[in-house]
Structure 1
Amino acid sequence: MDSSENKIKSSSITSGENISFWIDTTSIISFHKPDKDVTAEVLIIGGGIAGLTTAYKLLQAGKKVVLVEDGFIGSGETGRTTAHLTCALDDRYYFLEETFGEDSAKLAAESHRAAIDEIEQIITTLNIDCSFKRLNGYLFLDPSDKEENLDKEFKATQKAGLATSILQGTPAVANGENQRCLVFHEQAQFRILHYLKGLADAIVNLGGIIYTEAHAEEITQKGAKVNGYTFSADQIVIATNTPINDVMTMHTKQHAYRTYVIAGKIPKNTLPYSLWWDTGDQQSKWVSQPYHYVRLEEYDEHYDLLISGGEDHKTGQADEQHISQMERYDKLESWTRNYFPMLEDDLTYRWSGQVMEPVDSLGFMGKNPGDDNIYIITGDSGNGMTHATIGALIISDSITGVKNKWEDLYSPSRVTLKTTKDFIKEAGNMASQYLDWIKGSDLKNTADLQLGDGGVLSSGLKRIAVFRDYENTLKAFSAVCPHLGCIVQWNGDEKSFDCPCHGSRFDTEGTVINGPSQTDLPKIHIK
């Protein structure tokens, strides 16, 4: 591990101002920065669960692997998850059945079940202390949903081969006696960064090399430039939540959403360890209908931590519903207290994360369209822990010459004609964001900026992103996202500038913290 005492940028620790419970309770997992050119059989870009699992599987198969992470291990979206391990997908199995057919729905169910088993096997093999638990998950209806849909989903999960059952009440939920639910048996949860620490140690023990604070760019079929050094490889795996090598193809197939999380204490033994989800807002304006998701985690000898998430919206578009980020936390807290009133008054944590939602509901894991030796893992669709693990299994098989039975289902090159309507709706939303070029800016004068606040202002034809730091220094950058030219929006909750078109995000120094952009916002000198 790198013992450097250089000042660490907050964006290297996590991709936002708010700190998740996992990051707050885990030591930074760091390795050396690149200091020379490197050659490997496989170059993996991304140090979250997708990249580390792929590295581990390939090293087991005898491959020479180098992994690079822009920040520290788990500093991207993996460290901001709620770490549900489940076969209960946030898009219903009856939708998958209608879209892909019964056989494909079975494969989807099988793959997620296998991913949970794979994670459990890795934990057992490596003896990782990460509080892994098998438990039940309970899916209950959002008030906007129809009773018949729960029965429809039950039938679809049974046909898909999952262990499910219907209960007439939802366990442990306030006034849940008459709230029917669908039980998913043998689900699981864990502490994600503890799991990544165990994986990282195993990778090094198997001869793999990990670099942190290692920014990859100029990615080609020959490798990449990493902190200015040449990293050459026969195979390249891009495991960065969203592909950073692709200009357009994958970004028409999936779209970035922000999701919000609160966590607060409840007296120990008040609730059973379980997972809970509702079926989501059926009247939502978003194609990906937001739902709520809840779990417990051990906190101390007196308390457990109740972790609740939801209130999603498209990245950079919170203003589309006139609901601010802070109001979303308030709405989430209100929803949570309604179902779990034992939540103590003062919340311990608030944070948000970024979810990539594929239009047809299944992730994209495999060869990048048009490339023979570049692989991607993206489209987590709210099931990032299992999706990433499935991707690692598919790609490690592909690189070692094994035909994986889920490969075609999750192929990034697939075209799903039955979701054309949703595709057109998402594409229209994305195109409409370019109107920000002709709209008035949200900030009239930099004098209006408070300490720690930012915004976007207009200067003739220019759009300028500005931030006033806590020392009253004004920082300014081009507000044009380097990816495809959308105007970024200020995220006052996570203190970032977010692109409403494809989800790129930049910190208050203009540094890219989420792809697909590979480059920072250009600095501008203003008076």
Structure 2
Amino acid sequence: MDESNNTLKSSSITSGENVSFWIDSAPIISFEKPDQDIQTEVLIIGGGIAGLTTAYKLLKAGKKVVLVEDGFIGSGETGRTTAHLTCALDDRYFFLEETFGEENAKLAAESHVAAIDEIENIVTSLNIDCSFKRVNGYLFLHPTDKEENLDKEFQATQKAGLQTSVLEEIPALANAEKQRCIVFNNQAQFHILNYLKGLADAIVSLGGIIYTEAHAEDINKKGAKVNGFTFSADYIVVATNTPINDVLTMHTKQHAYRTYVIGAKIPKGQLPYSLWWDTGDQESKWVSQPYHYVRLENYDDEYDLLISGGEDHKTGQADEEGISEFERYERLEAWTRNYFPMPDDISYRWSGQVMEPVDSLGFMGKNPGDDNIYIITGDSGNGMTHTTIGAMIICDSIMGIKNKWEDLYSPSRITLKTTGDFIKEASNMASQYLDWIKGSDLKNTADLPAGEGAILSSGLNKIAVYRDYDNALKAFSAVCPHLGCIVQWNNDEKSFDCPCHGSRFDAEGIVINGPAETDLSKIHIK
């Protein structure tokens, strides 16, 4: 394995300008690029936790596996997580009970508990040094939420068979006197990139093949084109955060959100290793009702890193609330300091992309209409456990075993009880096409500062422009190659983001988040 490369694209290392703590504190995990056509049993597209866990489980079951990753291992959304391992889902259990019924809510709880156990078993059996710890998690009310909802949630978690209890105060939080919380016992946390390193090593030792900087396109039931080479397989698993093999079906069932994270050093011993979450803004304009989530991670011998996230908005739509990306970090910092006043300076700021299903459960299994193409997507705020569940379901399916969670997470399911949320999200998506008739962000390219981008109108054309730090101007079609929305400039991560389905492109026009498979078209302008 090669852990260094002098000619790295920025978009290969991580899907944004800002580097997460995980990527900053672990070596780049890279392998050879493809150099020939390949024939295998299972082709896995995506080198995050979903793809690697699926590869590892299938190899253990005796399958031949080839995995391809567009960037490097963990360079997608896995490397931008906060790595909570929890069965406290970001949508309430009483909502799951109302939507799917008591038995299915119980299955959802059971599957996430099993996923944490599965990760712990992998860490133990492979002896992975990734700071895995069992911790408690504490769910408390957002100021807009009602006390009765905490009681409803506690009762629903009990019915679902979870180890929960109610406390009259929230452990270790400042300014939270007499605020009750639900304790979720036996949750966990880890260093995600170190975990992926252990999985990657195990995959190779089991005879699996991993390619990095390997861009897959033209995905079909026979395989895919990877860097121009033909990769053929009996089974294809698309584990790319959002499916890149699907034009429309899955993108009406889930929607892309940006979520923001800060990391601040605090002296060791000031806080216990724990997970904390609030219940989310009940008055938010967003269907997902964004919430805050906090945890601690080992930093060095003297310090821990307090990692806090939240302030979500739909991808490409920060302007819908009139709150810039930079203001979102400020709001997150203010919220964090209210409850955790001990940090001095903020050491890390980054954002990530979350796929939010309208009915709150992920989509893991056969792609609708396909017999041998599988997807793992819709991870909501629980990507570490959702993807592990997905790997377990898909491994069983390929091995001809009926998994008891398969139907619950089926990508083909239709949930009629969430029709209202579906209509709201679909209306929001449709309204983004009005960007075709909106004016420019910019009148003249001469006004564009170095390090910034904008959308320019030229007749009927929409042009995405970026001026690099050498003062050179780059120009591309602003039309997303997926389904024709107009991309928007994200000045925080220095990317062009599609407000319809969440595709993202770096400042060079290179695709860094699906569902788009191809880059923005280059344009020559004066």
Same structural fold, with TM-score higher than 0.5 when normalized by the shorter chain? yes
Please list the CA deviations of residues 384-432 of structure 1 after superposition, one character each: whole Å capped at 9, or x if unmatched: 0000000000000000000000000000000000000000000000000
CA 1:257–1:4 in 2, change beyond 3 Å: closer, same or farther? closer
SS of 2:198's partner is helix
Q: Which amino acid aligns with 2:434?
A: L
Match of 1:204 in 2: 204
Match of 2:431 in 1: 432
Match of 2:88 in 1: 88
The 8 Å contact of residues 364 and 376 in structure 2, kept in 1 or not, is answered as: yes
**Deviation at residue 343 of structure 1 after TM alignment:** 1.4
Distance between the aligned counterparts of 2:213 and 2:85, measured in 1?
A: 28
**Deviation at residue 295 of structure 1 after TM alignment:** 0.2
Distance between the aligned counterparts of 1:427 and 1:183, measured in 2?
A: 36
Distance between the aligned counterparts of 2:442 and 2:433, measured in 1?
A: 18
SS of 1:264's partner is strand
Distance between the aligned counterparts of 1:81 and 1:445, measured in 2?
A: 38
Match of 1:417 in 2: 416
The 8 Å contact of residues 4 and 30 in structure 2, kept in 1 or not, is answered as: no
Note the aligned Cα RMSD (angstroms). 0.7
Match of 2:327 in 1: 327
Superposition pairs for residues 2-41 of structure 1, below 5 Å? Answer: 2=2, 5-41=5-41
Q: Which amino acid aligns with 2:233?
A: A
SS of 1:457's partner is strand
SS of 2:396's partner is helix
The 8 Å contact of residues 367 and 374 in structure 2, kept in 1 or not, is answered as: yes
CA 1:277–1:5 in 2, change beyond 3 Å: closer, same or farther? closer
Distance between the aligned counterparts of 1:276 and 1:4, measured in 2?
A: 36
SS of 2:265's partner is strand
Please list the CA deviations of residues 188-213 of structure 1 after superposition, one character each: whole Å capped at 9, or x if unmatched: 00000000000000000000000000
Distance between the aligned counterparts of 1:43 and 1:521, measured in 2?
A: 26
Match of 1:190 in 2: 190
Distance between the aligned counterparts of 2:313 and 2:225, measured in 1?
A: 34
Distance between the aligned counterparts of 1:465 and 1:124, measured in 2?
A: 48
Match of 1:146 in 2: 146
**1:287 matches 2:260:** no
Q: Which moved more, 1:133-142 or 1:436-445?
A: 436-445
SS of 1:510's partner is coil
Structure 2: gaps spanning 5 or more residues? none
CA 1:242–1:5 in 2, change beyond 3 Å: closer, same or farther? closer
**Deviation at residue 30 of structure 1 after TM alignment:** 0.2
Match of 2:100 in 1: 100
SS of 1:310's partner is strand
Superposition pairs for residues 73-472 of structure 1, below 5 Å? Answer: 73-344=73-344, 346-472=345-471
Please list the CA deviations of residues 167-190 of structure 1 after superposition, one character each: whole Å capped at 9, or x if unmatched: 000000002231100000000000
Distance between the aligned counterparts of 1:224 and 1:430, measured in 2?
A: 29
Q: Which moved more, 1:112-121 or 1:438-447?
A: 438-447
The 8 Å contact of residues 3 and 28 in structure 2, kept in 1 or not, is answered as: no
The 8 Å contact of residues 4 and 28 in structure 2, kept in 1 or not, is answered as: no
The 8 Å contact of residues 3 and 27 in structure 2, kept in 1 or not, is answered as: no
Q: Which amino acid aligns with 1:502?
A: H
Distance between the aligned counterparts of 2:62 and 2:412, measured in 1?
A: 28
**1:473 matches 2:467:** no
Distance between the aligned counterparts of 2:207 and 2:188, measured in 1?
A: 30
**Deviation at residue 5 of structure 1 after TM alignment:** 4.4
Q: Which amino acid aligns with 1:382?
A: G
**Deviation at residue 300 of structure 1 after TM alignment:** 1.5
Match of 1:69 in 2: 69
Distance between the aligned counterparts of 1:316 and 1:103, measured in 2?
A: 37
**Deviation at residue 3 of structure 1 after TM alignment:** 7.2
Structure 1: gaps spanning 5 or more residues? none
**Deviation at residue 324 of structure 1 after TM alignment:** 0.2
Distance between the aligned counterparts of 2:25 and 2:272, measured in 1?
A: 22
TM-score of the two chains, using structure 2 as the length reference: 0.99
**Deviation at residue 448 of structure 1 after TM alignment:** 1.2
**Deviation at residue 302 of structure 1 after TM alignment:** 1.5
Q: Which amino acid aligns with 2:446?
A: A
